[in-house]
Amino acid sequence: MTAPLAPDRFVAWLRDEGDRRYHAHHPFNRRMHEGALDADDLRRWVLNRYYYQTRIPVKDALILAKAEDPAFRRWWIRRLHDHDDEDAGLALWLRLAEAVGCDVDEVQSCRSVLPGVRFACDAYVTLVRDATLVEAVASSLTECFAPDLMSDRIAAWERHYPWVRPDALSYFRNRVPRARRDGEEALAFVAREAATHDLQARCVAALVRKTDILWALLDAVELAGTRRA
């Protein structure tokens, strides 16, 4: 039986796999940050990404349902509030949708979500539903890499898409400190709870699967733009 990695080596493994596979490196995201997208591209991304935003509180509720520890539930439920409260994540995303010129009712209905996007996002819910608690939490560790992405995105949108109101970027601004906090807390939990090498490897696999899901979402959005062209 392979001995578990020391916590610092396990964390380094998670960070390495997550960082190099993170969707910040996707060509669509790179073009977004280079200012190479047009308004239709941004609207298509915002509309489709909203479906992913709606899946986040669903997967967080599934994680809550797996937890026997009241302290864990008190900690994790904060994530639901961060997305579902009146002026929280979902509401802020709809504010962004309005600012880029989307029909907000159409975005909120999710009727126009691309099949590939829907499939990828639903796969994330399935991943969390079927995983153990620690693997489910590990799948959320893409948040460790989100603060840098969000900071870069804010700068890119302010520079390249000045027609989008600055206040509409509140979702990105709010995610910088919250993703940093959530990512570090979840990373500490996974490092502590994954006590065998097999479980450590399954946690890494869950994180890799999540990066694949985020990448597939952007693949679908990018392909739809190619067909439009």
The fraction of the chain above a pLDDT of 70, given in percent, is: 99
pLDDT tens, position by position, 133-160:
999 999 999 999 999 999 999 999 999 9
**Angle formed at CA 61 by CA 57 and CA 62, multiple of 5 degrees:** 120
The whole-number pLDDT of residue 228 equals 60
Q: Provide the 3-class DSSP secondary structure of residue 102.
A: coil
pLDDT score of 1 = 80
- Dihedral sign for Cα 31, 52, 154, 166, please: positive
> What is the pLDDT at residue 229?
52
**pLDDT at 133 (0 to 100):** 98
CATH class of 7-228: mainly alpha
**Mean pLDDT (whole number) for 211-227:** 94
Tokens describing residue 154:
């804010």
Percentage of the chain exceeding pLDDT 90 = 93
Across all residues in the chain, what is the average pLDDT? 96
Alpha-carbon distance of 147 to 85, in angstroms, equals 21
Of 106, 100, 113, 110, nearest to 40 (Cα)?
A: 100
Lowest mean pLDDT among 49-58, 73-82, 100-109, 219-228: 219-228
Domain boundaries, the chain: 7-228
Closest CA relative to residue 129, chosen from 208, 51, 63: 63
What single string gives the DSSP state of each residue in 20-44?
A: HHSGGGSHHHHHHHHT---HHHHHH
CB 4 within 8 A of CB 197: yes
- The closest of 27, 82, 75, 28 to 53, measured between CA atoms, is 82
3 — phi, psi (to 5°)? -70, 145
Helix (H, G, I), strand (E, B) or coil at 86: coil
pLDDT for the residue numbered 38: 97
Q: What is the pTM of this model?
A: 0.95
> Of 88, 97, 83, nearest to 54 (Cα)?
83
